[in-house]
Every structure is written in C-alpha cells, then in structure tokens.
Amino acid sequence: MKLHFNRILLYIILIFLAFVTLLPLWTGILTAFKSEQDLILTTPVEFPLSPTLDPLIETFGLMARPIMNSLVFTITATILSCLLGSITGYVLALHAFKGSNTIFVLIIVGIFIPYQAVLVPLVLIMSRLDLYNSLGGLILTHTAYGIPICTLLFRSFYAEIPKSLIMAAKVDGAGIWTIYWRIVLRLSVLPFIVTAVFQFTNIWNDFLFGLVISRGVESMPASVELANLQGGFVALWNLQMAGTVWYTLPSLVVYLVLGKYLIRGFMTGAVKG
Amino acid sequence: MKFPRIKFTKDSLATLLLLLPALVLVGFFVYFAISWNVVVSVSNWKDYSLVVDYSFGGFRQYEKLFADPIFLTSLKNNLILIAIFVPGTLLVGLFLALLLDQKIRKEGVFRTIYLLPFTLSFVVTAFLWRWMFNLDNGVLNYFLGFFNLTSDWIINPDIALYCVVIPLIWQFSGYTMLIILAGIKSIPVSHIMAAEVDGASGFYLYRRVIIPQLKTSIATAFVILIIFALKAFDFIWILTTGGPGTATYILPLYMFRSSFMDTKFAYGSAIATILLLLVMMIVVPYLYKTYRGKEK
C-alpha cells in the first residue's frame, strides 16, 4: 500500500540501508585482496593500492580440504533429509490418521530444541558407533536433525495437493506407496528444490555439530577450520578475510542463483535452527 | 470415506513403515538424547573425568548452578540479549517490510540484499564483525573517527554485550522483514479498500488497519527471535568467546565450556537441561496455539 511521501526520499533510505547491509561484506572482500602493507596504508573501505591474490592463495591450501569435506557431507545429508522429510511430510499431510497431528508436532519440536541439550549424548553416540570424527557421523547427525524442518516444509507443500486426486487414486486401488511414487513425487520438483536449497544453506552454515563431533582433517568442516584460522592468523586480517571468502563462496553462489527458492523456504518454514 | 477392511490394514502397515525411519531417527536423536542428557545431569559422573558413570547422584549439579556466579551472569546476559535483540530486530524488520511494500522498483533486488546477511553462517558474521569492530582499522571506528567518537566496542566489558546485539540485528532484520512481508501480502485487498473508502490513508491506514492484521506474523517472528536469542552460540563463541571476562557469557556458551573445555559433563548437562526448559517454555505454548484443533 502506497504511503504518500517523497518517492526520492524513499529510494534514498532504501539505498542507504542496502549500503549499510552490504558494508561488512564490502570491507571483508576488499581486505581479502590487500597485502599487509595495504592493510596499514588504506582505510577499511578503500580499494587496495596494489591488489594481490596472495591471501586467497595462501588460505586456499588450508581451506580446500575442509571445503571438500563440507561439500560431501552437506550434499549427502541434504539429499537424505529431503527424501525422509518428503516421505514423512507426505504421509502426515495426505494420509492423516488419529494421532498424526500429534506425531507431526512431536517431530517438529526437533526444529526448536537447543542442540546443547543433546550435545553430550551425541558425542557418546558417535564414539559408540565409531563415527566420531568421520564424514559418516556428520551425515547421520545432519540428516537426523534435518528431518523435522524438512517434514514441516514438505507437509506444507503437500497439503496443497487436491485431496480429490489422492481419493481418486485410492478408489482405483493404488496403495499409499504407489500414490507417492506415481503421483506425489512427480508433483514434487518445486518442494524438493526449495527444501534442498534451505537444507544446503543450513548444513553448510553449521558450526556447533562440526565443532564437537569432528577432530581432524578427515572430517573437519569448513566452518570449524575457518574458526581455527582466527588463532593462527592473529591480526592478519587479510588472511582471515580471505578464508572467510573461500568459506562463503559456495553458499553465496547458491543464494545468488537459487535465492528465490530459499526465500520461499524461509517463508514456508519461518524457522532457522 | 470408508475402505474395505483388508485394504485399510494393509495401508496402516504401509503408513507405519513409511513413517518409521523419521520416527526412529527423531525419537533417538531428539527424545532419547534429551533424556540421556538429563540422566547425565543427575548422575555421579565426576568432574574432570572421561569415565562415564550413570549411577544416580542426586540433584546437586542443579543446586550448584544457582550458587554459581558465572551461571547467574549467563542467565542475566541471555535475558538482556532477548530484551534488546528481539524488539530491535522486530522494529528494523517491520520498517524494512513497510519500505518494500511501497510498490517500489527493483523490489526483488532490495529484498535479496536485505536478506543476504541471514543466509550467511554465524561464523562468517562473527569474522566480518570482528573486523568491523577492530579498534585501529575497523569500519565503525573509521566512520566514527570523523566525529572523534571512536569506541573500544567488544573489548569494553561494560558495552560488549550491547555491541554483540548490533551484528545480530544486522543478520536477522531481513528475515523478520520477510515474515512480516508475507503477512502484509496475505491481508485481503478488500479490507484495505474498505478502509480507504472510509477515508483512511497513509500512516493512519498502516497504524489502524495493516499493522493490527500483522499480529500473527509478528508473533511468529517474536517467538523465533526469542528462541534464537536463547540458543545463540556460534556467533558469540567466535566473536568474543564470552569475554571480556564473562561480559558476554550466555547459557549455551557456558554449557559448552563446562562440558567440553572444563570436562564437567554432569554440570554442563544440567545447564543444557535448564536451557531446554527455558526454550520449551516458549515453544510449547507456541506449538499448542498454532497446531491445536487442526486434526483432520
């Protein structure tokens, strides 16, 4: 609804706020291209006098393996949690039975719990299963804790499928699995993209689980490795920012390319773990 | 609609089978793990020991908590964080939503920019803002320097907790904007037109017609922001590690330190249980209100 005040003033405010929002990223990216000399000679918002790729090259060696680790467990856990969320959301949305609403609420409680309340048992579980400090352990953890939000998202999408379609299939003798496989899955392209983008961003950004169940190069996530750089590069802000650039790049690309699906996911889920 | 009996049983079995993986995983990793954590908090597991001991040791960890100044500070800081972060983010988010609702050009571009911080990892937010807060070369002191107003930000124990809120508002405003924008879009156009026929316009229309109809979306944002402020960990851990001293300690941070740095697992688990109870005090009424009576 239009307010009747100065349109120019409106755009000035909008652009100013966009500028404020982007400022931390602006200074971070610029700093990643500065030599130690330029760190002193230029202000934090200025371009480097002699732009250099050295900080990015130096941190690439450190971040490459953790970024690979993160890609592997993020993509795998995204796929698994989406599949499980899709099946669960399908049953709860389209085959409601007595108590299905209660089951749904009990599942989505998992979205809200503070993970601190499961952290000590989680470490014990992972050591018992011999999954401590392994990509498998991270995949299992992120899949399990991803199911609640994926179930919520898929259930909202599937609730919009016309009930008559499901009823007709039932009358034709199709079982619950056949309906899913033959009908619902084919209508699921958009839900899968939205949920997958949402989950990719969530898991990629995780720090806490990686911090407690991974210890070495075999499974170290990029988020944890980046946090470790802080100790190794005290006051070397160009290197810290270069590491940040590497870690942010994959999720930033996903946002810039598939942002509208992520926005859809945020609006449907209205939740972030 | 009634189905033949045999068909019905076959379908219930299939229903159960399809739900089983999610039920097992969530049951185990959420409910069983939470119970396990509570058991650890009342166990005899000794401090500084990696040897698990589940024998019942009473509630002494909980008694210790309320005599522990760091725990009380963390609890107080958590409440201060909520008191500033939640209204601050709601106000900025509401403002952004109203701006974007003005039928502006390039709405999508502005929305993408405002939401960008929310898609970043808290690790990244912490790194970027440590640099923003940097005393000699940070952006904040650079701009404030023009007015001779530089500050020592997160190094100063008196203001560190308030400084921590700034990046969090930066990160969550766009998201709050999105929730409220979704609420604005869902107001029936007829309501607004009716109000306009009655002569309402401009700010009056917003104050009397639009904002009151946003109750549900603002409530949703409110709940999500409070829960986040209770369990925020990553960001503060990397930005200040709770410092200087214990100026920015909050419960999740103190839990992590107790369990994984001090090796006091029973004590850490007790903190986690308190934290869980606090979060559930918000979540349970919210879920009850949202999903009650929606059984099909």
**A158/B141 Cα distance (integer angstroms):** 51
The pLDDT of residue A3 is 57
**Given a cut of 80, is residue A187 above it in pLDDT?**
yes
Residues A110 and A21 in one domain: no
The pLDDT assigned to B4 comes to: 47
Tell whether the model's pLDDT for residue B189 goes beyond 80: yes
Q: Are residues A152 and A19 in the same domain?
A: no
Nearest to B236 by CA among B252, B260, B225, B223: B252
Task: Look at B28-42, B63-77, B203-217, B237-251 and tell me which has the smallest mean pLDDT.
Answer: B203-217
Nearest CA in chain A to B10: A175
Least confident window among A140-154, A180-194, A256-270, B154-168:
A256-270
B276 touches chain A (CB under 8 A): yes
Average pLDDT over residues B209-220: 86
**Residue numbers of B between 226 and 265 with CB closer than 8 Å to A:** 227-228, 230-231, 233-234, 237-238, 251-252, 255-256, 259-260, 265
Cα distance between residue B193 and residue B201, in whole Å:
10
Mean pLDDT of A197-225: 95
Listed as own residue / partner, the contacts of B69-74 with beta carbons closer than 8 Å and 24 or more positions apart are B70/B246, B70/B249, B70/B254, B71/B251, B71/B254, B71/B271, B73/B246, B73/B249, B74/B246, B74/B249, B74/B250, B74/B251, B74/B253, B74/B254
Same domain flag for A142 and A227? yes
Query: Confidence band (pLDDT; 50, 70, 90) for B104?
Result: confident
Whether residue B176 lies within 8 A of chain A, CB to CB, comes out as no
Q: Please provide residue A53's backbone torsions phi and psi, each rounded to the nearest 5 degrees.
A: -95, 0
Of all residues in chain A, the percent with pLDDT exceeding 70 is: 97
Of A124-138, B80-94, B211-225, which range is least confident? B211-225
pLDDT beyond 70 at B2: no
pLDDT value, residue B8: 53
The pLDDT, as a whole number, for residue B238 is: 95
B144 close to B150: Cβ distance less than 8 angstroms: yes
List chain B domain ranges: 62-291
Q: Same structural domain for residues A208 and A246?
A: yes
* Mean pLDDT over the full length of chain B: 90
The predicted pLDDT at position A5 comes to 63
B128-148 mean pLDDT: 91
Displacement of CA B243 from its chain's centroid (Å): 21
Of the ranges A74-83, A164-173, A236-245, B232-241, which one carries the lowest mean pLDDT score? A164-173
Q: Domain tally for chain A? A: 2
Range of the domain at A124: 55-269
pLDDT of residue A79 exceeding 70, the answer is: yes
Same domain, A125 and A239: yes
Cα angle: B281, vertex B219, B295; to 5 degrees: 75
Determine the pLDDT at residue B208: 80
**CB within 8 Å: B272 and A119:** yes
Same domain, A84 and A7: no
A115 touches chain B (CB under 8 A): yes
What local confidence, expressed as pLDDT, does residue B5 receive?
Answer: 46
Give how far the C-alpha of residue A5 lies from the chain's centroid of Cα atoms, to the nearest Å. Answer: 39
B30 with A266: Cβ contact below 8 A = no
Q: By the 8 A CB rule, do A72 and A138 touch?
A: no
Cβ-defined contact of A240 to B127 (cutoff 8 Å): yes
pLDDT tier for residue B244 given thresholds of 50, 70 and 90: very high
Distance of alpha carbon A228 from alpha carbon B277, whole angstroms? 32
Please tell me the predicted confidence (pLDDT) of residue A110: 96
- Determine whether the interchain pair A248/B124 forms a contact, defined as Cβ–Cβ distance below 8 Å: yes
One domain, residues A20 and A124: no
* A152 and A68 inside one domain: yes
pTM over 0.90: yes
Whether residue B121 and residue A247 make contact (CB cut-off 8 A), yes or no, is yes
Structural Rg of chain B based on CA atoms: 24
Of A119-123, B48-52, B204-208, give the range with the top mean pLDDT.
Answer: A119-123
Using the 8-state DSSP alphabet, how is residue B105 labeled?
Answer: T
Q: Which long-range contacts (CB under 8 A, 24 or more apart) does B272-275 make?
A: B272/A114, B272/A116, B272/A117, B272/A119, B272/A120, B272/B37, B272/B41, B273/A117, B273/B37, B273/B38, B273/B41, B274/B62, B274/B65, B275/A114, B275/A116, B275/A117, B275/B230, B275/B231, B275/B251
Indicate if A136 and A237 belong to the same structural domain.
yes
Which residue type does A258 have?
L
> What local confidence, expressed as pLDDT, does residue B249 receive?
96
3-state helix/strand/coil string of B160-192: HHHHHHHHHHHHHHHHHHHHHHHHHHCCCHHHH
- pLDDT for the residue A273: 33
- The pLDDT value recorded for residue B295 is 46
Task: List the CATH number of the domain containing A150.
Answer: 1.10.3720.10
Higher pLDDT, residue A225 or B186: A225
Residue A3, classified by CB atoms within 10 Å of its CB into exposed (0-12), middle (13-18) or buried (19+), is middle
Asked if B123 and A247 come within 8 Å (Cβ–Cβ), the reply is yes
Indicate if A69 and A31 belong to the same structural domain: no
Mutate to test the interface with A, among B81, B95, B118, B120 (most CBs of A within 10 A): B120
Task: Answer whether A187 touches B (CB < 8 Å).
Answer: no
A177: left (phi over 0), alpha (psi -120 to 50) or beta: alpha
- Residues B69-74 have a mean pLDDT of 96
Higher model confidence: residue A13 or residue B197? A13
Class of domain B62-291: mainly alpha
